[in-house]
A and B are shown apart, each in its own frame.
Chain A
């Protein structure tokens, strides 16, 4: 021991420290790599955008498209519906959002069809389904109700239906994502 002792530490201290440092680097890179491998893979991410033809949706009708493996509601709103949503006192809502911000073209409301509570698919898109008190959607799981701007109006869901990023490629074709 004594023969190897130098000011500032021994050879053994040095070996401990370098081995420890290498170990720490190894473990922390594994801790980065392994959990990260569980994030969406490249092909899943590549599917992230979809085009939908909306020419056949009549005024007052809605359809369900598929975007990233989840339903997407596309509703062609009537002038009365638009007027009603734009008149809502949006600042007092749970998740305050102006109708003008969610529906860029007033007659088209495009929202992800996944309840922001626990992920069920709200009813109200197909003709004949219940649409809740606010005329939009009602979730079968725990009764969250959304209006025709996709805003949460009652029930346990904390947020409005997600408005995905979309652009109008032409007047009748949208690209979502």
Chain B
């Protein structure tokens, strides 16, 4: 990230002394102080900073929770109850961490939607986007493993159902599940390894966030017009303009987050998460956390085995179809930069595509609803239709519409658009 060229001089001699030996201040100055940034950001551009703040909060609260947590099947549930009742402010750290996961996903999902709408994934920001998808995957694994730690009914059965997905893999499936569990059922070895990984992965996420931002600072930020900055008139220095704007956005987000932590810490939680895991009894209805629901619905939208025609020989069992579809629904995002063929980057200037994105949002809402209900009747149909549109959108609409849509003409430059009174 260091820029070789011209050296910044610092007034403070200590800063100067350090900087001569480790150019950390010049890097900060170049990357966050003076960094030229499009002048027309709206608040959707604050969600990267918000997500970073959430990552920090998760790590800090997590480390302190770890000081009172015991990763053993006989003690885990109790150690969390102890944390809630006896540890000083244990309840606050736990509720912050627990709801923090949800708010982290809220921030990241908004951040991703921003990228989708304004075409931020497109050339030259493909790698920024790809690292972003990697971060999302790592977050999902981390949150999934964290959720097992309280060793509740929902923890244990959630893990059972999700790890059992891998039994769908042909030939090696059962061995793979035994390997993941470290035994023949979800048990102490499973809890232990999940704890080790839950502790580790957030730091891996930090590393990927670093590369994500590094790549972003090579290409520079996108902006609502999707038009690259062309002159000095199009950009402003990151500091003070966006340090202020991002701080303000972050504070507002944190107020909402803390309001939930203090006044409604359990709105997003399931009652079965507060009973200890009983491996001999499945709760009547297993639901993942809300941020997994769309993917869970895709998993369950497939109910018909694919046979070799006119025989009973099953080519692709329904279960394997669901597993493949669920993983593809995320992995497909990696290819988005090459699927989008439109000459125009931002959906602001794509009158038809705008509506398709709205439909995508509706499809994801339908999937979220479907994922929260048993897969039968109406919810199953919501799941099937939602899954259909999700894949149709990315695999057909994005490449085909890009070629045929009659787009509006984007402004010649960012400053022209600002002066014309747009964002």
Contacts and interface: CB of A to CB of B under 8 A. Distances in A.
Most buried by A among B161, B163, B284, B303: B161
Given A39-B178, A121-B282, A140-B282, A69 B185 contact: yes
B184 A40 contact: yes
Contact of B319 (A68, A92, A96, A117): A117
A71 B319 CA distance: 23
A14 to B, nearest CB: 37
B164 A68 contact: no
A120 B184 contact: no
B193 A120 contact: no
A142 B300 contact: yes
A135 B412 CA distance: 72
B189 interface: yes
A118 B314 CA distance: 19
B371 to A, nearest CB: 12
A41 interface: yes
Interface in A138-170: 140-143, 156-158
Contacts of A39: 178-179, 182
A96 B313 CA distance: 11
Given A71-B280, A140-B282, A141-B286, A119 B160 contact: yes
Interface string B164-189: 11011000000000111111110101
Most buried by B among A39, A40, A70, A118: A118
B282 A94 contact: no
Contact of A70 (B161, B185, B303, B314): B185
B333 interface: no
B157 interface: yes
Contact of A120 (B157, B163, B374): B157
Contacts of B157: 120
Interface string B271-313: 0000000011111111000000000000010010100000010
Nearest to A139: B282
B164 A69 contact: no
B184 A118 contact: no
A157 B317 CA distance: 9
Contacts of A8: none
A170 B135 CA distance: 57
B195 to A, nearest CB: 14
A64 B183 contact: no
Contacts of A41: 182, 189
Contacts of B189: 40-41, 44
A66 interface: yes
A57 interface: no
A64 B280 contact: yes
B237 interface: no
A120 B319 contact: no
Secondary structure of the A side of the interface?
loop
B416 interface: no
A70 B279 contact: yes
B53 interface: no
A19 interface: no
Interface string A89-127: 000101010000000000000000000111111000000
Nearest to A155: B303
A92 B161 contact: no
Nearest to B299: A118
B249 interface: no
Contact of B182 (A44, A116, A156): A44
B183 A118 contact: no
Interface string B365-385: 000000000111000000000
Most buried by B among A35, A48, A71, A92: A71
B284 A38 contact: no
A39 B176 CA distance: 9
B318 interface: yes
A30 to B, nearest CB: 17
A41 B184 CA distance: 11
B193 A38 contact: yes
Interface string A24-39: 0000000000010011
Nearest to A40: B183
B280 A66 contact: yes
B183 A44 contact: yes
15 contacts: A38-B180, A39-B178, A40-B182, A40-B183, A41-B189, A44-B182, A71-B279, A94-B305, A96-B312, A117-B319, A118-B164, A119-B163, A140-B283, A141-B282, A142-B375
Interface of A: 35, 38-41, 44, 48, 64, 66, 68-71, 92, 94, 96, 116-121, 140-143, 156-158
Given A38-B182, A44-B182, A120-B161, 12 more contacts: A39-B182, A40-B182, A44-B183, A66-B280, A71-B279, A71-B280, A92-B312, A116-B167, A120-B160, A142-B374, A156-B303, A156-B318
Across the A-B interface, the 5 shortest Cβ-Cβ residue pairs = A69-B185, A68-B184, A119-B164, A118-B164, A120-B282
